[in-house]
Amino acid sequence: MTNILIDSDKKLHNLLSKIEDCKEIGLDTEFIRESTYRPILALIQISLASGEIYLVDPLKIKDITGIAKVTSDPNIIKIIHSAKQDLEALYSHLGSFPENIFDTQIAQNFLSEKSNIGYSTLVKNICDVNIKEGSWRTDWLKRPLSEEKKEYAANDVRYLIKIKNQLEKN
């Protein structure tokens, strides 16, 4: 399915109205932390159960408060892998922490002798898909985002809902 770039307030408003009825979303962020006290949020990735993936560009959107409403909505489960740094980046930008989080890394820790398994390994083990690793050398603040960056970012949320559902079965 196509990755949809949300780079305007109107597009964000349309996405937020779609998310209102969701019970769960996959969530991830890309940010820059080098030479800064706080992380600089560069991208928010959201996946829906329908398979749609949205790449929200906080550098292009004037009013990002709607994202804070979604992330703090206790009725929507936010599925994140290894959430600590994403939570810090979201808090730094939005001023609030997401509520009702399902961390796939922590869930996997309860089910396996191996602790703190990486996302790409979890995707391979549960979904039998190989995804590319290593965004830490990428300048996520550079615009426009290349198709390769968009695909990498989308893959970070593409499998989260499926992984959560499988972990809950175990």
Half-sphere exposure of 165 (CA within 13 A, CB side): 10
Give yes or no: 30 in active site: yes
Catalytic choice (24, 28, 57, 103): 28
Residue 70, H or E segment = helix 65-71
Q: Does residue 28 carry a catalytic annotation?
A: yes
Q: Which residue has the tokens 């175990």?
A: 170
Q: 7, 24, 57, 156: which is the annotated catalytic residue?
A: 156
The active-site residue out of 7, 24, 57, 86 is: 86
Selected catalytic residue, list 30, 54, 57, 103? 30
Give dist(CA 24, CA 94) in Å, integer.
20
Q: Where does 7-100 show beta strands of DSSP type E? A: 24-32, 40-47, 53-56, 77-80
Q: Considering the candidates 7, 57, 119, 152, report the single residue annotated as catalytic.
A: 152
Closest CA to 32 of 42, 19, 18, 17: 42
Task: Kindly state the tokens that stand for 22.
Answer: 């969701």
Is 86 tagged catalytic? yes
The residue whose two tokens read 């892998």 is 81
Catalogue the active-site residues.
Answer: 28, 30, 86, 152, 156
